[in-house]
């Protein structure tokens, strides 16, 4: 682009947007929350691991944000030798520009010894369950925590108390060792999970409860409940690799799903088991047994929740305990629990049918805002996914439409590049249409506000060594939530799926993370084997991502960057106020001796 054209573009942006001022975030500015990320040896899953921790722990502290208000969250990078960002998973479109936390897509990472203030503004409709996590390398193995947006008004269902159930993986290698192996030639796999944790607690592979010096982290996690109460269980999938299936002993049909992936309320659906993949959230009403029911069962207090990994070469099985008590000191007196002699359940191996075409909105959408019909679709983008060997580097990589993307792909974050170079940094829309949705020049997908997209995630057998293996992928979208219109085996057939939707009377809910299943472990090299389809009313310009949420697959390139809109539509902060975002360690990154300056994007009086 010529310099004059870029000047015209930036001038237009300045005219359209009211000019604000930069605010110095010195000692007079008090963020609403502070997260300090450091690295140290921690006791976890009966072992010791060098890990990224948040405010000294993993998981990090629970953050509670008010709906309809602006919240500032300060994130310190106290690690000595690693970059950092923080992503607010599921809070699509609720962050100021440069605050999504997607490294090298929307922002430069936070350098060691610096901090960054994230401006987040949930709407009044966003009350629900989310989480936050690092978006750099493998740090999200331990650098994560629950994020709750408090309801603005009354909750549509009664409950007495709530419990947060955040699930994570344990790997006994360091983040850097895993990452280096995944990027190495020859390829070195991370291995399977060495443990599944609930709120940071669990028993690692090859251990029994209480076999470490720190027994509090080498035990079955306990969920304390009281008889007769109704609990809101907030299920959060923060695993790196594991797709979990679980069931609670002698409590069939006591779990009712009422909300998914944050703010979308569903018509109540009662299930006999739970499943959760990386990035997913479910709000579930749990009806505890009454005192009379417990008495009829011999006043039993402890019930095993059996959970197992699925769709992996090996199965990891462990337990949590739902514990009933009415004693005043019951929270302090937790006896050690041993594993049952025989597992209570023979859990299903089939994960691909759970809740498919079952979740529907509790509230009717306004005209033009509900699930688009097939006839409304203006463009279909099929993302063909498979594992291949890179012809350039000989690395083992994942691709979508033959495009692989990692945090090393761009020399600078794409959003930064757009602010600096305008349309020259943007994917050409016509070129993208001719190349399966993405422009080879900038290696990014293109979309425009007003489009109604159908995005099809199409699984294939691996081309790596022509092995034909098929994997599962929890696909996550930044930017805005989508209508999940189902999944199936084989190759996507739009007409057949629309007939199924119509025959079921199915109205899809909005999600941000859903599973691309597999229906066989080996389909043959390049053979289509399973699909997931979304519909999106594109309405929010910006730089967003669609990626598999399995951390290993992200490291191996199963990510895509999307530029939505024109450069002029994307540049939401006047150039004179955005300069601090445009360089690594720029003036929006503070440290012990420097107070950063920020434009305040959201008007607090209008939130």
**Distance, CA of 79 to CA of 143 (rounded, Å):** 12
- Fold exhibited by the domain 1-154+579-607: Immunoglobulin-like (2.60.40)
User: What is the reported pLDDT for 20?
Assistant: 57
- Expressed in angstroms, the distance from the first to the final Cα of the chain is 37
User: Facing residues of 24 across strands?
Assistant: 597
Over the range 93-104, which residues count as b (16 or more CB within 10 Å of their CB) and which as e? bbbbbbbbbbbb
What SS3 class is residue 63?
Answer: strand
Give the pLDDT band (50/70/90) at residue 342.
very high
**CB-facing half-sphere around the CA of 590: CA atoms within 13 A:** 20
386-390 own/partner pairs: CB under 8 Å, 24+ apart: 386/459, 386/460, 386/461, 386/462, 386/463, 386/526, 387/462, 387/463, 387/464, 387/467, 387/469, 387/471, 387/556, 388/462, 388/463, 388/464, 389/463, 389/464, 389/465
Angle formed at CA 231 by CA 480 and CA 154, multiple of 5 degrees = 55
Give the pLDDT band (50/70/90) at residue 216.
confident
| Mean of pLDDT values over 72-97 | 95
Angle formed at CA 441 by CA 412 and CA 585, multiple of 5 degrees = 5
| Mean of pLDDT values over 273-292 | 98
**Distance, CA of 143 to CA of 11 (rounded, Å):** 40
User: What is the reported pLDDT for 327?
Assistant: 67
Instruction: Please check the confidence at residue 332 and state whether its pLDDT lies above 60.
Output: no
What SS3 class is residue 489?
Answer: coil
**Distance, CA of 590 to CA of 507 (rounded, Å):** 47
| Mean of pLDDT values over 182-198 | 98
| Mean of pLDDT values over 271-281 | 98
**Helices (DSSP H) in 368-428: which residue ranges?**
414-421
Instruction: Please check the confidence at residue 3 and state whether its pLDDT lies above 60.
Output: no
Instruction: Please check the confidence at residue 144 and state whether its pLDDT lies above 60.
Output: yes
* CATH H superfamily, domain 374-570: Cupredoxins -  blue copper proteins (2.60.40.420)
**Distance, CA of 119 to CA of 73 (rounded, Å):** 7
| Mean of pLDDT values over 494-508 | 98
User: Facing residues of 163 across strands?
Assistant: 233
Greater model confidence, 2 or 381: 381
| pLDDT tens-digit map of 546-583 | 999 999 999 999 999 999 999 999 999 998 899 999 99
- Fold exhibited by the domain 156-351: Immunoglobulin-like (2.60.40)
User: What is the reported pLDDT for 1?
Assistant: 34
Least confident segment among 74-78, 163-167, 185-189, 390-394: 390-394
**Most distant CA pair in the chain: distance in Å?**
82
Instruction: Please check the confidence at residue 77 and state whether its pLDDT lies above 50.
Output: yes
| Mean of pLDDT values over 351-371 | 92
Give the pLDDT band (50/70/90) at residue 23.
very high
Give the pLDDT band (50/70/90) at residue 604.
confident
The mean of the pLDDT values for the chain is 93
pTM score above 0.85? yes
Over the range 537-554, which residues count as b (16 or more CB within 10 Å of their CB) and which as e? bbeebbbbbbbbbbbbbb
User: What is the reported pLDDT for 339?
Assistant: 92
Q: What are the residue boundaries of the structural domains of the chain, listed by start?
A: 1-154+579-607, 156-351, 374-570
Instruction: Please check the confidence at residue 15 and state whether its pLDDT lies above 80.
Output: no
Least confident segment among 92-96, 186-190, 442-446, 531-535: 92-96
Instruction: Please check the confidence at residue 12 and state whether its pLDDT lies above 80.
Output: no
Shared fold status for 1-154+579-607 and 374-570: yes
Strand-strand pairing, 482-488 and 528-537: antiparallel
């Amino acid at each position: 682009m010529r310099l004059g054209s870029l000047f015209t573009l930036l001038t237009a942006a300045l005219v359209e947007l009211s000019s604000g001022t930069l605010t110095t975030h010195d000692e007079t500015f008090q963020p609403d929350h502070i997260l300090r990320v450091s690295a140290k040896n921690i006791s976890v899953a009966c072992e010791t691991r060098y890990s990224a921790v948040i405010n000294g722990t993993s998981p990090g502290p629970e953050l509670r944000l008010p709906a309809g208000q602006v919240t500032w969250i300060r994130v310190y990078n106290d690690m000595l030798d690693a970059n950092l960002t923080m992503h607010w998973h599921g809070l699509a479109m609720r962050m100021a520009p440069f605050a999504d936390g997607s490294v090298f897509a929307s922002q430069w990472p936070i350098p060691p010894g610096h901090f960054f203030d994230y401006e987040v503004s949930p709407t009044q409709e966003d009350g629900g369950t989310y989480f936050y996590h690092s978006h750099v390398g493998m740090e999200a193995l331990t650098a994560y925590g629950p994020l709750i947006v408090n309801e603005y008004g009354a909750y549509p269902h009664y409950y007495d108390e709530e419990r947060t159930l955040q699930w994570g993986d344990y790997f006994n290698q360091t983040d850097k060792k895993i990452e280096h192996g995944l990027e190495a030639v020859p390829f070195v796999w991370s291995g399977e999970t060495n443990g599944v944790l609930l709120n940071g607690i669990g028993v690692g592979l090859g251990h029994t409860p209480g076999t470490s010096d720190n027994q509090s982290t080498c035990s079955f996690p306990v969920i304390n409940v009281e008889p007769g109460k109704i609990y809101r269980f907030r299920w959060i999938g923060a695993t790196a690799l594991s797709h979990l299936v679980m069931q609670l002993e002698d409590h069939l049909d006591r779990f009712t799903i009422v909300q998914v992936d944050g703010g979308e309320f569903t018509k109540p659906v009662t299930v006999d088991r739970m499943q959760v993949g990386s990035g997913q959230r479910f709000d579930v009403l749990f009806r505890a047994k009454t005192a009379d029911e417990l008495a009829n069962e011999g006043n039993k207090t402890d019930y095993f929740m059996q959970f197992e990994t699925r769709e992996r070469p090996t199965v990891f099985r462990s337990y949590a305990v739902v514990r009933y008590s009415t004693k005043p000191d019951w929270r302090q007196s937790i006896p050690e629990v041993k594993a049952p002699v025989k597992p209570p359940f023979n859990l299903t191996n089939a994960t691909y049918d759970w809740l498919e075409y079952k979740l529907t909105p509790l509230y009717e959408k306004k005209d033009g805002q509900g699930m688009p019909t097939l006839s409304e679709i203006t463009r279909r983008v099929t993302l063909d996914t498979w594992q291949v060997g890179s012809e350039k580097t000989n690395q083992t990589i994942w691709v979508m439409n033959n495009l692989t993307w990692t945090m090393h792909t761009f020399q600078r974050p794409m959003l930064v590049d757009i602010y600096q170079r305008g349309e020259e940094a943007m994917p050409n829309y016509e070129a993208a249409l001719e190349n399966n949705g993405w422009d080879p020049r900038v290696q990014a997908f293109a979309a425009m506000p007003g489009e109604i997209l159908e995005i099809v995630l199409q699984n294939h057998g691996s081309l790596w060594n022509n092995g034909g293996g098929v994997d599962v992928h929890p696909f996550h979208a930044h930017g805005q939530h989508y209508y999940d219109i189902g999944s199936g085996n084989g190759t996507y057939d739009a007409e057949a799926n629309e007939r199924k939707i119509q025959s079921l009377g199915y109205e899809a809910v909005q999600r941000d993370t859903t599973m691309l299943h597999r229906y066989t472990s080996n389909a043959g090299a390049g053979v289509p084997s399973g699909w997931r389809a979304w519909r999106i009313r594109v309405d929010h310009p910006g730089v967003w991502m669609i990626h598999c949420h399995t951390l290993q697959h992200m490291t191996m390139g199963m990510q895509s960057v999307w530029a939505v809109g024109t450069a002029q539509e994307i540049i939401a902060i006047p150039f004179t106020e955005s300069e601090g975002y445009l360089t690594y360690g720029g003036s929006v990154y503070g440290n012990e001796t420097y107070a950063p300056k920020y434009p305040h994007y959201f008007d607090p009086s209008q939130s």
